[in-house]
Chains A and B, each alone.
Chain A
């Protein structure tokens, strides 16, 4: 009975968090604000669903570690994906005037390991192509 209660609470929390994450994706106005909703709320929602699944397996008498593996993988990969999407947005769509200065001769979206000044090579927004 107490297991049922815990599993149900986890499922309801997971559903609410997942719905909030996806609703924020539609509702928020800008990509940089929109990145917050899926990377935090949706990941937490999936984590709750996986915890509920683990509780159900524990209730049936077997402890399985697959759910922890999936949870760990999702919690590790969500920030990396978020970072890559933000860099792609900066490289393509961001106005360089609103960004703070980087202190180097490159923009925020490219890695700069060189010391000498290099002219930044940027593709204009809305025109995709190879930047080299």
Chain B
């Protein structure tokens, strides 16, 4: 039963990542692209965690944690650059 649910969750988050890539490619403004990249990072974290569940390994949580941190910092840096023209003032 877990296998079917895991396959369903993989499918959902994979389609979600594809929709985010569509939004990154075709979006009217630049903050839209930042938002789509941030959502892509969130979907990728979910896929990494599901992959760790699929393989039964605890190694992937470190990768997910690092990915969450870098995704947050890069999104904030990008938005800050658009907002002020500089990242650290």
Chain A at the B interface: SS class: helix
Number of interface residues of B (CB under 8 A): 53
Q: Which of A15, A26, A53, A130 contacts B13 (CB 8 A)?
A: A15
Residues of B within 8 A of A131 (CB): 84-85
Query: Which interface class (under 10, 10 to 19, 20 to 34, 35 or more) fits A?
Result: 35 or more
In the complex the two chains form, what is the Cα distance from A130 to B86 in whole Å?
8
Find out whether the CB atom of B19 lies under 8 angstroms from the CB atom of A8.
no
Find out whether the CB atom of B49 lies under 8 angstroms from the CB atom of A85.
no
Find out whether the CB atom of A22 lies under 8 angstroms from the CB atom of B39.
yes
Residues of A within 8 A of B32 (CB): 31, 34
Q: Which residues of A contact B (CB under 8 A)?
A: 4-5, 7-9, 11-12, 14-16, 18-19, 21-23, 25-26, 31, 34-35, 37-38, 42-43, 45-46, 49-50, 52-53, 56-57, 60, 64, 66-67, 69-70, 73-74, 77-78, 80-81, 84-89, 91-93, 109, 128-132
